[in-house]
Chain A
Amino acid sequence: MKLTLKIWRQKDASSKGKMVDYSLNGVEGDMSFLEMLDVLNEELINKGEEPVEFDHDCREGICGTCSLQINGEPHGPDRLVTTCQLHMRKFKDGDTIVIEPFRAKAFPVIKDLIVDRSSFDRIQQAGGYISVNTSGNTVDANAIPINKHAADEAMDAATCIGCGACVAACKNASAMLFTSAKVSQFALLPQGQVEATERVQNMVRQMDLEGFGNCTNTGACEIECPKGISLENIARLNREYYSSSLKG
Chain B
Amino acid sequence: MSALIKSSLARKVVMALSGLFLVFFLGQHFVINITSVIAPDTFNSWSHFMGYNPLVQYLLQPILIAGVIIHFVMGFALELQNRAARGVRYVSYKGSANSSWVSRNMLISGAVILAFLALHFYDFWFPEMAYKYIEVNPEDPTRYLVETAHKFEPMWRTLLYIIAFVLLALHLLHGFASSFQTMGVNNKFSSGIKTFTKIYAIVIPLGFIFIALYHHFNPITH
Q: Say if the two chains contact directly (CB < 8 Å).
A: yes
**Bound Cα distance A23, B20 (Å):** 52
Which of B64-72, B100-108, B123-131, B139-147 lines the interface with chain A? B100-108
- Total residues of chain A contacting the partner, CB 8 A: 51
Q: Does A39 count as interface, using CB distance less than 8 angstroms?
A: no
- Most chain A beta-carbon neighbours within 10 Å: one of B11, B106, B181: B181
Question: How far in angstroms is the closest Cβ of chain B from A122?
Answer: 16
Which of A40-48, A125-133, A237-245 lines the interface with chain B? A237-245
Instruction: List the A side residues contacting B185 at CB < 8 Å.
Output: 235
Q: Does B221 count as interface, using CB distance less than 8 angstroms?
A: no
A100 touching B92 by the CB < 8 A rule?
yes
Report B71-98 CB contacts with A as 1/0, cut-off 8 Å.
0000000100110111111111111011
Instruction: List the A side residues contacting B91 at CB < 8 Å.
Output: 6, 8, 19, 98, 100
Question: How far in angstroms is the closest Cβ of chain A from B197?
Answer: 12
A173 touching B103 by the CB < 8 A rule?
no
**Bound Cα distance A135, B13 (Å):** 42
**Bound Cα distance A231, B88 (Å):** 26
**Bound Cα distance A217, B104 (Å):** 9
Q: Does A113 count as interface, using CB distance less than 8 angstroms?
A: no
A interface majority secondary structure: mixed
Q: Which of A193-215 contact B (CB under 8 A)?
A: 201, 204-205, 207-208, 211-215
Q: Does B174 count as interface, using CB distance less than 8 angstroms?
A: yes
A238 touching B183 by the CB < 8 A rule?
yes
Contact partner of A236 (CB less than 8 A), chosen from B4, B99, B186, is: B186
Using A172-B85, A212-B85, A218-B104 as known contacts, say yes or no to A207 and B8 having CB atoms under 8 A apart.
Answer: yes
Closest to B10 in A: A245
Q: Does A60 count as interface, using CB distance less than 8 angstroms?
A: no
A204 touching B99 by the CB < 8 A rule?
no
A245 touching B1 by the CB < 8 A rule?
yes
Instruction: List the A side residues contacting B115 at CB < 8 Å.
Output: none
B85 touching A235 by the CB < 8 A rule?
no
Question: How far in angstroms is the closest Cβ of chain B from A226?
Answer: 13
Q: Does B7 count as interface, using CB distance less than 8 angstroms?
A: yes
Instruction: List the B side residues contacting A223 at CB < 8 Å.
Output: 97-99
Q: Does B59 count as interface, using CB distance less than 8 angstroms?
A: no
Which of A67-75, A80-88, A136-144, A155-163 lines the interface with chain B? A67-75
Using A214-B11, A218-B103 as known contacts, say yes or no to A173 and B78 having CB atoms under 8 A apart.
Answer: no
Q: Does B184 count as interface, using CB distance less than 8 angstroms?
A: yes
Instruction: List the A side residues contacting B35 at CB < 8 Å.
Output: none
Q: Does B182 count as interface, using CB distance less than 8 angstroms?
A: yes
Using A219-B103, A231-B181, A235-B186 as known contacts, say yes or no to A214 and B3 having CB atoms under 8 A apart.
Answer: no
Report A1-33 CB contacts with B as 1/0, cut-off 8 Å.
000001010000000000100000000000000
Instruction: List the A side residues contacting B94 at CB < 8 Å.
Output: 71-73
Question: How far in angstroms is the closest Cβ of chain A from B180?
Answer: 8
Report A147-183 CB contacts with B as 1/0, cut-off 8 Å.
0000000000000000000000101111000000000
- A/B interface sample: 14 pairs, CB < 8 A: A98-B91, A104-B87, A171-B99, A172-B86, A173-B85, A173-B87, A174-B85, A207-B8, A213-B82, A214-B78, A218-B174, A234-B181, A242-B9, A242-B13
Interface residues of B (CB under 8 A from A): 1, 3-4, 6-13, 78, 81-82, 84-95, 97-100, 103-104, 106, 174, 178, 181-187
Given known contacts A171-B86, A213-B85, what 5 new A-B pairs fall within 8 Å (CB)? A19-B91, A72-B92, A104-B87, A213-B81, A232-B186
